[in-house]
Chains A and B, each alone.
Chain A
Amino acid sequence: MKKMYFSWGVFLMAGTLMFSACKNEETAVPTPTLYARLGGNSAISAVVDQFIANVAADTRINAFFAAAASDQARLTKLRNNLINQIGEATGGSEKYTGLDMKTAHKGMKITDAHFTALVEDLVASLDKYKVGNTEKTELLTALAAMKGDIVGQ
């Protein structure tokens, strides 16, 4: 009799475990990355092209980009590096393979005013493509972390 009760107990426990394992668990929907919310590849390259145009027209800082502006190969390299950097900073899968910011800006004597001018040009390019305030703030926060490596080098 005891053996029978024990067997029934094991049987019921096994059944409970089996049916509870079949229950549909709600899977969490992953939050899209900032990269995806900005619009992915094509959006980032369009924003970068506009950013380059804005910087080139800004007499406060366009002298820093004179080498890139006068040489198509350097311009292409700058453009590609910007695309890679923004893509990586916003959670894209690809990597930025250019120089680190400190090395890239060494000796340029960039000031806070120059950096601010650059950020204004970037904001203008984001506004042109109607990037939302949330995404804009997230992107600028991610890039603002580089300020220490750019200014004062």
Chain B
Amino acid sequence: MKPLYNSLRNLVFGAAGCFVAFVVYANWEKPSLAESLQLKPIELRVFNLVGAITPYDSLRLSEAMLVQKGITAVCINAAQKTLSVTFYPDQTTEKQLMLRLASVKIQAQKVDFSAVQGPQCPIPMQYIDYFTNAKRALCFRN
């Protein structure tokens, strides 16, 4: 019974010590610039444009995109025939972007980056997110 009690006590003290160390770490430095700005999250969509894209097409497409609410940045790469858009997901959707493209009669196909074989981080994002969210929650310097 006593060894079990000692083990349990050591475990509790160890966990409490780790928690206190984590709280100290979370408050060691001022929150980063991006955290202090409290920016809304953005989404990114990239499209391959079908057919030749003239400067006039680029202009029309740019104007059509920029009037869409929630778009934060647009890039039309006429040479490589790609369009990329960053937007706030709570203000606009991919479907609305496609409608904008259709309104200027430009055909486009969404690029599926999950199929692209680029460098991959071996650590699942969920673990990193859990750690950074816990650190942000325990930071009292906000």
Contacts and interface: CB of A to CB of B under 8 A. Distances in A.
Contacts of B33: 41, 44, 83-84, 87-88, 92, 94
B128 interface: yes
Which label, helix, strand, loop or mixed, suits the secondary structure of the B interface?
A: mixed
B20 interface: no
Nearest to A63: B118
A77 B128 contact: yes
Interface in A72-95: 72-77, 79-81, 83-84, 87-88, 92-95
A52 B41 contact: no
B114 interface: yes
A49 interface: yes
B55 interface: no
B39 A53 contact: no
Contacts of A27: none
Interface in A20-79: 41, 44-46, 49-50, 52-54, 56-60, 62-77, 79
Given A73-B129, A77-B128, A67 B73 contact: no
Interface centre among A41, A57, A76, A84 (most CB of B within 10 A): A57
Contact of A94 (B36, B74, B85, B86): B36
A80 B34 contact: yes
A97 interface: yes
B82 A69 contact: no
Nearest to B125: A73
A67 B118 contact: yes
Which label, helix, strand, loop or mixed, suits the secondary structure of the A interface?
A: helix
Interface centre among A58, A66, A68 (most CB of B within 10 A): A66
Nearest to A94: B33
B51 interface: no
B80 A57 contact: yes
Contacts of B113: 62, 66-67, 69-70
A108 interface: yes
A83 B37 contact: yes
Nearest to B74: A53
Contacts of B121: 67, 74
B54 interface: no
Interface in B84-123: 84-86, 89, 111-114, 116-121
Interface in B11-64: 29-37, 39, 41-44, 46
28 contacts: A46-B72, A49-B42, A49-B72, A49-B73, A49-B86, A50-B73, A53-B84, A57-B82, A57-B83, A60-B80, A64-B118, A64-B119, A66-B113, A66-B114, A67-B118, A69-B44, A69-B46, A70-B114, A71-B125, A72-B43, A75-B44, A77-B128, A77-B132, A80-B32, A80-B34, A84-B32, A92-B33, A97-B29
